[in-house]
A and B are shown apart, each in its own frame.
Chain A
């Protein structure tokens, strides 16, 4: 990834968080504030009338000589006897009434008021607008880094519109933001950034605004609603979702890009299904936490596989029109548990890739299950578990195998087996474990190849043919024995591998043997194809097959100038049928071999 983009993502998280904090503070600062009124005066009535009748010349006229209240006045001030004070007070009420003033009310000061920080419409942006602008700012920054997603890009426009509508649903109109709303903002912001990144890296992606809105709503709203009340819970949720929301959103968008048809048009099933799985991922991560980077990567990898199924078979994640988040979560959790408990290297990326293969293949065939909505992920889990266990056993028995097979090649073999087996869908059901037999055959054979006579490409081909034969001739060569013993095919392959190893031990065998590499692979492939329809013959006449291999090897080493790889394979093909029927190969000398090679 571009370092500028990483830097940008970090900056935007910090900026959006900072704006959220500032918005909360702004809201608190700008709450209406008390402007106290003056404390009330409690004047003596004598004070009041002295003030009232001397404040203006007009009022003074009432108490001066000739005035209606002059008898209660003494020179420049009111007489102090109660009768005079009362008379003057009543007189003040009368005069005020004549002036059109409520005397009593006029003497009472105004009370306190609650004042806003700003006049309506003149203050700074509301907290909501600030956050919206910050989001816009993020988009602008992104455009600066990658002009390809400029604001006139229709995909960017639709993405931003869907983001805004979802955010608007989360946030109250009055700007009353609490921790829950800020959490929603972080989640949605993460999706916006990931969405822009997806548009940037998938120029052909067609974003449908309505679909994306539905996806976001289904994925995020329930998560926000479950945001815990406790402080420690909130800290964990924020940390976990910060770590996972970006990769999850990126994976979701990539899935949409890869399955465009499902995310356009009138049906929203794919969006609901994808939303259910995304929600499951976020809740699983938030509630159970992420132990380390590996568990995060693992969960994201599993999520990516499950949303692939959700995109192509959305009905598996929907019931009665509602998302089945619990099922998606159970699937993610059970796979994550198996992953965490697997032995290296199957507890990390290799395991995730194997799990993805199992999820994809089994999920694609889920409709064949008696109860497709409930059983497919259980079988997928079983497949995944068996793949990891069998590969682990093979590695434990044959440590040299690591030199031939890289981690990716283990995954390739697992994927090849599953893909080929899926051509006979009856093998991928809850009641059939033929796939297990194929896996066991291949891994047991791998364990037996201690001399490393086959390359990784050879093993892939053998696995492919074994799976094809299992699919076309089920319940024969690859059926596990009742006590979980190895399938018959294992004995056949092992016989060839053992024969090849023995040939090396013959005088000059190491230099002259031809049963290695491509020849050995072709011999195994031919043997599997020959025995697939007649598995019984192996259990009865394996000894004859072993004799044949040994005879051919002996001949090839002794008459190396006459018997090369091509001749060896020709003779093997010519004689294997008889050996499987129980016919002893007898003395295979050069004359007999030559006749056979000449079609005799």
Chain B
């Protein structure tokens, strides 16, 4: 579903992604971890057609992101740091707006189902400007799933979510993966990786330096691996706190 070949990206003299190789198959949930500045967000933005690669190629469902970005955009759902919501519109109006841009059918039914899935049913008529960070994040997730994309690209999607909302998102992602979607998410939370992901990749200095199925590694081993690869500059927080 997602295939990245020798992807490179440079900002000025700084090489952010260096001949990166990655693939995410149908029904797979891949967690991408790495230090701040490792290139996670750049990778997600490049996959989402928001940034053009300097070299290499990205294919989503066999379609090149540089040759046919419009087709790619129809097949991806993206959550980035910015929620991409309009604060002066209500929860429902935001989703209606995006439904119109995607020219979707059965809009109200979709919206109701998604708002129920992200537990925002009781706030449908409230303006987004009155929402907390976590609620905006949940609405962003609903927005990303509105058009039933086959690939989900989620950049630090668990940030700002409380335990209940995180568990809700875990279930939602697992359900989407069961339906055959490919999911790539970046995170700093080990706990989440072991709850939801099927594979974990470590990104360091623009390269995937470690990749392993989640069921063949323990949280402690992952933490040690992470430290080993990134020891020179990593700020280590004990894995028992659930974050790296």
Whether chain B is bound by chain A comes out as no
What residues make up the interface of B, taking CB atoms closer than 8 Å to A? none
What residues make up the interface of A, taking CB atoms closer than 8 Å to B? none
